[in-house]
Structure 1
Amino acid sequence: MNFFDKNIEALKRINLKLAEDIINSTESSDYASNTEIAKTGLTLPLLKNGKLLHSKYDPIKEASRFFTGNENFVLFCGLGAGIHIECFLNNFKLKYCAITEASFANFKSLFKIIDFSHLILNKNLSFLPPLESENFEKEFINTYIPAIYGNFEIKILRPWEEFYKDKIPKFEKKIRASLENIQADISTQAAFGKIWMRNIMHNLKTASIILPAIPKIDPDKKACILGAGPGLEPALENIKRYRNSFVLFASDTAFPILIKAGIEADFFVSMDPQNISYAHCFRPFPQKDSRYF
């Protein structure tokens, strides 16, 4: 198995979508197709401007100078040969990091010349979509959890930073926007977390007293899940006609429409805590059973 296939197979195990995007990417990478060998025997990739990503003499020693020891979660911009990332993971085994590149094509090019499979499968490292991808922010927000990982730092290989000097402000803006979204979520949790937890505990206590049981249903029937949309009212006549063929699930907004039409749902599910949503339940429930939650 060649390097590319080995890396892709490893990546599929942790991030299938990213693996597929790399496979389907173009060949227009910013990395050169050739490599150089460091004095220590490691394979080093080059950018198209001819610059090496790592020291040709002792890339491991160079990488060790990259960290102060105060980093808790590091976002690496520029995969290179992964030497700096491996240095971080080997020296700080309880810390976490993520790696991104400028494009899917960059990942594709590097995957062809270096075996990253051991890095890809390291549980303390996350591979993120490239900075130019529309999915970067979403994946980054889902990856970095300040309450778990602690402080955040960006580490960029200097040759990589110089190569993308015109794009670095755009990349940094995207990262800052992601961090602001993360901070907003933390602020919301700080403001409402205790209230939410109190309500959860009270509701669990009430649920333990009620002991609701899900009724038995016929597994041979089709499930019909209903929400209040433009297609619901035109479908009411067919729902009535074939009522015995369905197990009906009604959401918040569909429930009053069904009641008005004389159709009793098997299940009514309300998940939205807004006043306008639970107001849909202010009419009497059918009395023949207790299927409504």
Structure 2
Amino acid sequence: MGVSTDTSSRYSRETGYGDCAGAAMNPDRIEPILTRTGEISGVWKGVSLHSRIDPRREAERAVKEALPHDAEGIVVFGFGLGYHVEAILTHFPRAKVWVVEPDPLLFRSALELKDCGELISHPRVRIFVGTDGSVVDHLLHSIEETPFSIYRFRPSVELHGEFFRDLERRLHRVLSRRQVNLHTLARFGKLWVRNLCRNMNLLSRYGGIEALKEKFSSIPALVIAAGPSLDEILPHLSTLREKFLIIAVDTSYHPCIRAHVEPDFLVVMDPQYWNTRHLDRAVQRSSRLVSEPSTHPTIFRKFPGRTFLAGSLFPLGKYLVEKIGKRASLGAGGSVATSAWDFARLLGCNPIVMAGLDLSFPRKRTHCRGSFFEERVYSIRTRLDPEETHFFRYLQEATPLSLPSNDGKTVLTDQRMLVYRDWFEIQGILYRDLRTLTLSRHGLKIEGVEWVSLEELLEYPSCRNRVDSLLRETDQTPPVLPDKSAIEKGRKEILKGLDTLEELAREGIQMVQSLRNHDPQQEKIDLELLNRIDEKIISHQYHDIAGFLLAKTLLSIEQSKAATVEQTLENSLRIYTDLLDSIRFHREVLTRNVSSQETSQDFPPETDDS
């Protein structure tokens, strides 16, 4: 696989790579090959990286065959000498590109052998080098919500098969989680927006959670969820309270009160009316509420104690919160238990012990005894529709499956629970110095979360005096409240911006309708105008606010995959029409008079899409 002396001299002069014969003998360098077209190819650990005839043309052909023409994001398995990455940038001029190269030595050698400066500094390219867990985590974080396809560079997959198989499994988890998120958004999107507008005045009434950052540094926290295993913990909760800061979620609050323990903090994040019923006849003044602006308004009426608001995770809320200053947000992994864990992390607690976090159905049960969910099932059961039928439907509706549990056996779980599990596993990578423990011996196994026995926790030293002292200090510190006029100013600016977006949506609808009856000679012109409208919408300051409610439409379009021009036009019309409906909905709820009394009244049960 060597090259001639003349070729060796040329590489030495033009690339600074040195003697090729030496490179071939050096296992830390790519063995260079001069192709027929004059391009550089090479061999690494016995594997040819690119064509020895025309590596650039080979890459272009492979890329076009492997990737869909409308790819918005592309995860590339392996860097090689970068020919395939260059081809991707050329043939997908708008796509974001993430390149994962497991071998730092190969990557360094490639940069020495071939000039890749323009490639690695390209604004649409991010390169992740190494096999460290943080490399993969940074990749997953970087992708965020961008739709992506995978390009498997064959030589790299051959060299690092196990690494890329594991990475692909994790990427498929991301896609699965996105599907769940899209379904959730399609179901609750309007309710989140409506609640946010009802709660708008609360942004200037309550302080933010950022005031609590690191206030309980190194104090152990017990985060209480409402899984079936909580039943084993409740008899010992009074003793554990002496040794931990107690953080409950809405579903576990009532069981805690029945065990004669008032949580130090109560985390509530759900937008639904029925979720407020967890707090019926239970809330006491000594707890502190941690919530966010899209929670159902009834929660704030029911809660008499100190309240802290997290920043909103939704576009409308984010913009309004920015108008009053930066506020810390809590991670959202799909469950209030994930938000409660992240709140404990923000407080500086270490370790964080999870109680009742089963993420599964041990003994075919869904919740602990006495939770609102379980009591409601017993209250509505009939002879022809007993509680067993309700529980069976709940277990079956999200594709149940059996997976390893903390006791080394298997437990029944479902796809929803896997989304929560994946979230906790990612946090374990992000915060390696933070210990997370679980008391759920029969619950779903979570990598990075250790099982701990109740007996071991009961041996922890008491820290209640210190906790109570810090809580008194917190209660006596007045909140920093923003200027209410800033929120009103932001509301008016959004309304004005929505007017501009409405004009663009109407223009798009008219253009599609015109194109359906197009003059063939005008087709190209109209398509270019449509692209311009799309670009104006995407670049608009408030496009993410108006587009927030399009999840159901986008999910349907993604599943159907347009195959003809007519189908593409139909999809465009659906998007413009639903964007127009979303703009009208936002305008309606933003212009509705939000009185200070609105959060003081009960709200009737609402449908999911109300």
TM over 0.5: yes
In structure 2, C-alpha distance between the alignment counterparts of 1:234 and 1:40, rounded to whole Å = 72
Amino acid paired to 2:186 = K
In structure 2, C-alpha distance between the alignment counterparts of 1:215 and 1:85, rounded to whole Å = 48
- Is residue 292 from structure 1 mapped to residue 307 from structure 2 by the alignment? yes
- 1:54 is paired with a residue whose SS is coil
Instruction: Verify the 8 A CA contact 1:45 1:110 in the aligned structure 2.
Output: no
Aligned pair partner of 1:188 in 165, 172, 180:
180
CA distances 1:250-272 after superposition (whole Å, capped 9, x unpaired): 9547x999xx999xx9xx67355
Aligned pair partner of 1:154 in 151, 155, 173:
151
In structure 2, C-alpha distance between the alignment counterparts of 1:67 and 1:215, rounded to whole Å = 52
Instruction: Verify the 8 A CA contact 1:215 1:291 in the aligned structure 2.
Output: no
In structure 2, the partner of 1:32 is 29
Instruction: Verify the 8 A CA contact 2:60 2:84 in the aligned structure 1.
Output: yes
Map of 1:57-206 to 2, 5 A cutoff?
A: 57-68=53-64, 70-71=68-69, 72=71, 73-130=73-130, 132-135=131-134, 138-144=137-143, 148-149=146-147, 152-157=149-154, 159-160=155-156, 164=159, 168=161, 170-171=162-163, 173-206=165-198
CA distances 1:58-98 after superposition (whole Å, capped 9, x unpaired): 32222222232734243333312112211220232112332
In structure 1, C-alpha distance between the alignment counterparts of 2:207 and 2:50, rounded to whole Å = 64
In structure 1, the partner of 2:549 is none
Instruction: Verify the 8 A CA contact 1:43 1:114 in the aligned structure 2.
Output: yes
Higher relative helix content: 2
Instruction: Verify the 8 A CA contact 1:32 1:45 in the aligned structure 2.
Output: no
* Cα RMSD (Å): 4.6
In structure 1, C-alpha distance between the alignment counterparts of 2:203 and 2:48, rounded to whole Å = 66
CA distances 1:231-256 after superposition (whole Å, capped 9, x unpaired): 973699xxxxxxxxxxxxx9547x99
Amino acid paired to 1:202 = R
In structure 2, the partner of 1:282 is 282
- Structure 1 runs of 4+ aligned residues shifted over 6 Å read 229-232
In structure 2, the partner of 1:8 is none
In structure 2, C-alpha distance between the alignment counterparts of 1:173 and 1:113, rounded to whole Å = 28
CA distances 1:175-196 after superposition (whole Å, capped 9, x unpaired): 4412431232133123321333
Instruction: Verify the 8 A CA contact 2:29 2:44 in the aligned structure 1.
Output: yes
Normalising to structure 2: TM-score of the pair? 0.31
Amino acid paired to 2:87 = C
- 1:149 is paired with a residue whose SS is coil
Structure 2 gaps of 5+ residues are: 1-25, 224-238, 287-303, 309-610
Structure 1 gaps of 5+ residues are: 1-28, 237-249
Amino acid paired to 1:125 = V
Q: How many residues of Structure 1 are paired with residues of Structure 2 in the alignment?
A: 233
In structure 2, C-alpha distance between the alignment counterparts of 1:30 and 1:189, rounded to whole Å = 46
In structure 1, C-alpha distance between the alignment counterparts of 2:53 and 2:125, rounded to whole Å = 26
In structure 2, C-alpha distance between the alignment counterparts of 1:209 and 1:106, rounded to whole Å = 57
Q: Quick one: percent identity of the two aligned structures?
A: 16
Normalising to structure 1: TM-score of the pair? 0.57
Q: Which moved more, 1:188-197 or 1:82-91?
A: 188-197
Instruction: Verify the 8 A CA contact 2:101 2:127 in the aligned structure 1.
Output: no
- 1:283 is paired with a residue whose SS is coil
